[in-house]
Structure 1
Amino acid sequence: MARSFDVEPLDATFGAVVRGLEVATLDEPTFRALYDTWLEYALLVFPDQNLTRAQQIAFAKRFGPLEFEMTAISNVRSDGTVRPEKDNDDVIKVLKGNMGWHHDSTYMPVQAKGAVFCAEVVPSVGGRTGFADMRAAYDALDAATKARIEDLSAYHSLHYSQGKLGHEAKKQDGEYNGYGFHNGPVPLRPLVKTHPETGRKSLLAGRHAHNVPGLSQQESDTLLKELVDFACQPPRLYHHQWAPGDAVVWDNRCLMHQATPWDMTQRRIMWHSRIAGDPASEAALAA
């Protein structure tokens, strides 16, 4: 079926801007074509959608069941005041942690499938969201590195990644629910992931990954850093400069992402709806 919308590929190995449709009112044939486009490009950007919260949740649900319907990614409190950066509370620590490259929910029993992310208020400078194509990164590895990592895995933990920033989340301030700081088993995930729908291989690393079994601490740290540094290079990168009303949907199974700094005296209000992974393909390995 011919696409009934315009697809403008980004200047990268992945991603496209989609124009000519309103995502809140898609009929089923158009959505199926859009879903196939998403599998191809992994990141779709929809300018000027201005979704209501209910519309965003409904759109996200078309990609599958949700891990959670919506949360604010914001430095603005519920009363409308700006959260002082100097206070360095749990929310600020999570915002800063998100500036490291990562996949969502690798620290949970089931890794997320993807996410819909929408901009309500954006700062005048900074606050972009970066994405990295882990499919193209795997493809670009030399044969020796592919052979080395083929059967290796790493543990993934939010306690680990936030702990490196001095964030233990022992006390709650009433506004941060501690999502991801669970006391269950630490998930173990392969460094090479096969996409359950496309069959393409990609790297799986990021800031939550640590302690590769069979390697020393130094060897593990070095390998994981080298993989992320290699992956996050042009043409495998795109950083989105947000405008109010923008919506994006990304495939968390094959892209990493990161927040980027902004002047935290300025308001930034983003809305995140997380698409749940299929336990058949996204569950952690048996440790």
Structure 2
Amino acid sequence: MARPFDIAPLDATFGAIVTGVKLAGLDEACWRALHAAWLQYALLVFPNQHLARVEQIAFAKRFGPLEFEMAAISNVRADGSLRVETDNDDMMKILKGNMGWHADSTYMPVQAKGAVFSAEVVPTIGGQTGFADMRAAYDALDEDLKARVETLQAYHSLHYSQSRLGHETKKADGEYSGYGLHDGPVPLRPLVKTHPETGRKSLLIGRHAHAIPGMEPGESERFLQELIDFACQPPRVYRHNWAPGDAVLWDNRCLLHQATPWDMTQKRIMWHSRIAGDAAGETALAH
């Protein structure tokens, strides 16, 4: 069946640019076609959407309940003033942490399903968002390593990943909302994830993953970093150069993503709506 929009695959193992559609006010047939394309490509890029807050939230809700409706990912305070990089406040530390490869909410009891992300103000230098295909990364492992990672798990913690940047998360100064910096159990997740809708296997790694049971800390850290270094290479990587009004939809169950440094004397205002994971398929292991 012909799609009710135009789709152009990216020069990577995943992802596509979608044109000829307005995300505000999709009819059911168009949404179903978009959902099928999302499962196929894992990342959909929608140029020139300029979504209002209510429109972005409504579009994200088509994919399920939201973990949170909308959060600013920005170096601009609510009063419009620019955060000064040298102040290195909690929010700036989180922004810098996001520059490491990661999947969202692996540090929560239920991992997020995906996200809608849109650009309001973008800098002239830097500020891209990178995405990496963990399905293709798993497929590219040699058979011995594939068999090994199938047997392993890792803990996931935002406290851990931020501490590696020198961020004392137990001493928050109030600049960051504290989302993800919980004191509950640290989730344990397999290194190989089976997608609940497509059945495809992918690597579940990233900066929040650490402390593989059965490994010494140093060995675990090296092993996980080697997996990231291998996985996040062309043709499994795409970096999006933002224009104001762009929106993207990604599948957090099989992609990693990262922010890219930018000239922080320039404003960057992005809006993130996070789609909650289904508890049946995204809940951490009991331990």
Fold-level match, TM-score > 0.5?
yes
Task: Return the offset for 1:70.
Answer: 0.5
After superposition, the C-alpha distances for 1:87-115 in whole angstroms (9 at most, x for unaligned) are 00000000000000000000000000000
Q: Which residue of 1 aligns with 2:72?
A: 72
Q: Which residue of 2 aligns with 1:229?
A: 229
Contact 2:210 2:224 in 1 (8 A): yes
Secondary structure at 2:144 match in 1: helix
Does residue 252 (structure 1) correspond to residue 256 (structure 2)? The answer is no
Q: Which residue of 2 aligns with 1:285?
A: 285
Task: Return the offset for 1:217.
Answer: 1.3
CA distance in 2, matches of 1:174, 1:95: 15
Secondary structure at 2:48 match in 1: coil
Does residue 116 (structure 1) correspond to residue 104 (structure 2)? The answer is no
CA distance in 1, matches of 2:155, 2:81: 38
Task: Return the offset for 1:167.
Answer: 1.0
Q: Which residue of 1 aligns with 2:5?
A: 5
Q: Which residue of 1 aligns with 2:99?
A: 99
The code of the aligned residue for 1:9 comes to P
CA distance in 2, matches of 1:175, 1:93: 10
CA distance in 2, matches of 1:54, 1:173: 30
Structure 2 matches for 1:63-212, cutoff 5 A? 63-212=63-212
Q: Which residue of 1 aligns with 2:269?
A: 269
CA distance in 2, matches of 1:46, 1:120: 14
CA distance in 1, matches of 2:78, 2:173: 13
Q: Which runs of 5+ in 1 are unaligned?
A: none
CA distance in 2, matches of 1:2, 1:279: 33
Contact 2:150 2:191 in 1 (8 A): yes
CA distance in 1, matches of 2:244, 2:125: 13
CA distance in 1, matches of 2:101, 2:250: 14
Task: Return the offset for 1:169.
Answer: 2.7
CA distance in 2, matches of 1:255, 1:9: 16
CA distance in 2, matches of 1:162, 1:176: 12
The code of the aligned residue for 1:282 comes to E
After superposition, the C-alpha distances for 1:43-80 in whole angstroms (9 at most, x for unaligned) are 00000000001100000000110000000000001110
The code of the aligned residue for 1:83 comes to R
CA distance in 1, matches of 2:189, 2:86: 36
CA distance in 2, matches of 1:179, 1:117: 17
Task: Return the offset for 1:202.
Answer: 0.1
Which is further off, 209-218 or 111-120? 209-218
Task: Return the offset for 1:218.
Answer: 2.0
Which is further off, 196-205 or 159-168? 159-168
CA distance in 2, matches of 1:171, 1:218: 26
Task: Return the offset for 1:216.
Answer: 1.3
The code of the aligned residue for 1:148 comes to R
CA distance in 2, matches of 1:90, 1:178: 9
Contact 2:90 2:174 in 1 (8 A): no
Secondary structure at 1:25 match in 2: coil
After superposition, the C-alpha distances for 1:110-137 in whole angstroms (9 at most, x for unaligned) are 0000000000000001000000000000
CA distance in 2, matches of 1:175, 1:77: 9
CA distance in 2, matches of 1:113, 1:284: 13
Identity percentage of aligned residues: 76
The code of the aligned residue for 1:136 comes to A
Contact 2:120 2:270 in 1 (8 A): yes
Task: Return the offset for 1:172.
Answer: 4.1
CA distance in 2, matches of 1:47, 1:149: 37
CA distance in 1, matches of 2:166, 2:70: 27
Number of residue pairs matched?
287
CA distance in 2, matches of 1:121, 1:171: 31
CA distance in 2, matches of 1:64, 1:235: 30
Task: Return the offset for 1:175.
Answer: 3.8
Secondary structure at 1:94 match in 2: helix
Does residue 239 (structure 1) correspond to residue 239 (structure 2)? The answer is yes
